Structure 1
């Protein structure tokens, strides 16, 4: 049983350590704790939240050691424990770490202390880090792997009372990206469409999913390589209306053509699509689409296109030309080359 399942069953620990850069998972854990540890009436009296970049840890522990005013337990969140990381932080507060160490050895039985550390790594050399990992229930909120992301999507769909096929889950993350908040919004939306007890398939995902910026760029590339320059420009102008910067669009275009080239080269060496995805550390759905586009270009053409993109990037940064016009010029150059 994982940490969140224990919380849902009200099997609480005295201390929790939530750390990692995937903020959605940390926030989800916090919400599950709040929903299960306290009633709505207890929230006003028994819930506290402190920023350790602004307050010494010893003062927050005084709250945790104070008996709850009503109800049977208190819930105390401590955010940004800068003393747990070697990363540079803006916190300049002096903390009495010995006080925290003493608390961990004998935590208040009526309080749940939650330490939220939004850092990629903790400083494992420190005594307090080692003690926390030993005494606390630990949840690492790291970026999900491809397999974990697929399972997470299926689990999220089940929470909404629906099922999603593996192919549909792969397509969803390919179209919407890997941002868990965006994926949650898309799953919730599609779940409402299909209704409880039903199944989400690829056709529904294709029809209803809002595309990520990267996927819109892919659609833009697809229009360009098929010499549908009017449609490509329409997508480009739509992206500009969404306040996307031309330099960002150009950068992702360069990344997409680089992926097409790498996919073509690795396929020539005999790599399968799963091997290519693993080697390049990209989603298999992106490799599948890139493999289709790679067939439209020779290796020489792709190298020339990447040179054109590099030149466009240089013009955008140093020539003073209008950035929108630089991207438009690239489209027309690419179209002329293909013709």
Structure 2
């Protein structure tokens, strides 16, 4: 995240490298850096003759090298961008010779998504020496919440922590999907707005009351009435709230409660860093730890694993999906 910003800052300052190898499991930052290069290295009138965008499945490394060796026409530089470059993985070593002596008048960009070069290999070392090797890593859930807050702050918005958590629960850690939803909210709501759970519910369609975040909060507080109300909503809306996903999130939640029990330092900041959650939610884990001793947590995790097996049809369980969830809640709360 910070490295992607640094790359863009360097380009703005005129520190432009001849090769940018953008790789890794999080496509969002790869796309943002490549998009900035595509839209800002050349003036608009220079792009027709000096900017080339190709796709890995439609080209070869020798062809890309041939493009990179061309000289710009009536411009200081040319830009060559290879999107979906992971399709060239088997032959990417053929880039080594060019990377050892790249043209200073070419900016060559590889978008190598969901894969990465072996850092021990010569090709990686040569590119890093003469250009930029950027690894875009997936963010943890708590990092995604922080990222949402930073993105919105830069656009003169803020967001309630619960609302941010709702987005992560609904969309996962896919930054591209989250970014699209944030863009919609920015178009609908006036600048300076604090985005609330109500705004998320009204404009994105995520229920502020019936979601896994509220379910885990109710279970942690041993609020049986609320927990069963949410459970019934999940049973009535199986496509929106599939049991397998619910069980996975319950497992993650109670695993964090167990982890909290094991912390020697239970200060808010340290607990947040170890549990990889926003500080705002530490109080919920403190409450859950009070309500569920370590032995009970071990029992709950065992029952969640059993429910997971049943939900996948292993052992030919006669229970319906909704009954599996009800049984699990009963085991947790009793």
Q: TM-score range by the shorter chain?
A: 0.7 to 0.9
Matches within 5 A, 1:170-185: 171=162, 173-177=164-168, 178-185=173-180
Q: Which of the residues 207, 221, 226 maps onto 2:223?
A: 226
CA contact (8 A) 2:145 2:165 kept: no
**Residues 1-339 of structure 1 mapped to structure 2, 5 A cutoff:** 2-8=6-12, 11-40=15-44, 42-52=46-56, 55-68=59-72, 72-79=76-83, 93-94=90-91, 97=94, 100-118=95-113, 121-144=116-139, 152-153=147-148, 155-160=150-155, 162-164=156-158, 168=159, 171=162, 173-177=164-168, 178-192=173-187, 195-196=190-191, 198=192, 200=194, 204-209=195-200, 216-223=211-218, 225-228=222-225, 229-238=228-237, 240-242=238-240, 245-263=242-260, 265-266=261-262, 269=264, 271-316=266-311, 317-321=313-317, 325-332=320-327, 334-335=329-330, 338=333
1:188-229 Cα distance to aligned partner (Å, 9 max, x none): 344445533x263xxx3333236699x932223345542232
Change (3 A) 1:54 1:190: closer
SS in 1 for 2:117: coil
Evaluate the alpha carbon distance shift between residue 330 and residue 302 of structure 1 in structure 2; reply closer, same or farther with a 3 A threshold. farther
Question: 1:256, 1:303 → 2: CA distance?
Answer: 13
Give the 3 Å change call, closer, same or farther, for CA 270–36 of structure 1 in structure 2: closer
Kept in 2, the 8 Å contact 1:21–1:118? The answer is yes
Contact 1:14/1:136 (8 A) holds in 2 = yes
| Structure 2 runs not aligned, ≥5 long | none
Distance 1:284 1:126, change over 3 A: same
Give, in angstroms, the shift of residue 318 of structure 1: 1.7
The CA RMSD measured in Å over matched residues stands at 3.8
* CA distance in 2: counterparts of 1:15 and 1:151, whole angstroms: 30
Q: CA, structure 1 residues 69+270, in 2 after alignment: closer, same or farther (shift >3 Å)?
A: closer
Kept in 2, the 8 Å contact 1:53–1:92? The answer is no
Q: Per the alignment, in what secondary structure is the counterpart of residue 70 of structure 2?
A: coil
- Structure 1 unaligned residues grouped into runs of 5+: 83-89
Q: Structure 1's 116 and 73: CA in aligned 2 closer, same or farther, altered over 3 A?
A: same
1:22-56 deviation digits (Å, cap 9, x = unpaired): 21000011111111124555555433334456643
Q: TM-score, normalised by structure 2?
A: 0.75
Separation of aligned partners in 2, 1:145 and 1:94: 32
List per-residue Cα deviations over 1:165-186 (Å, max 9, x = no partner).
Answer: xxx4755543322432244235
SS in 2 for 1:78: strand
Question: Aligned in 2, Cα 1:169/1:114: closer, same or farther, shift over 3 Å?
Answer: farther
Task: Name the SS of the counterpart of 1:318 in structure 2.
Answer: coil
Q: After superposition, what is the alpha-carbon deviation per residue over 1:47-70, rounded to whole angstroms, capped at 9, x for unaligned?
A: 333445664312211112223456
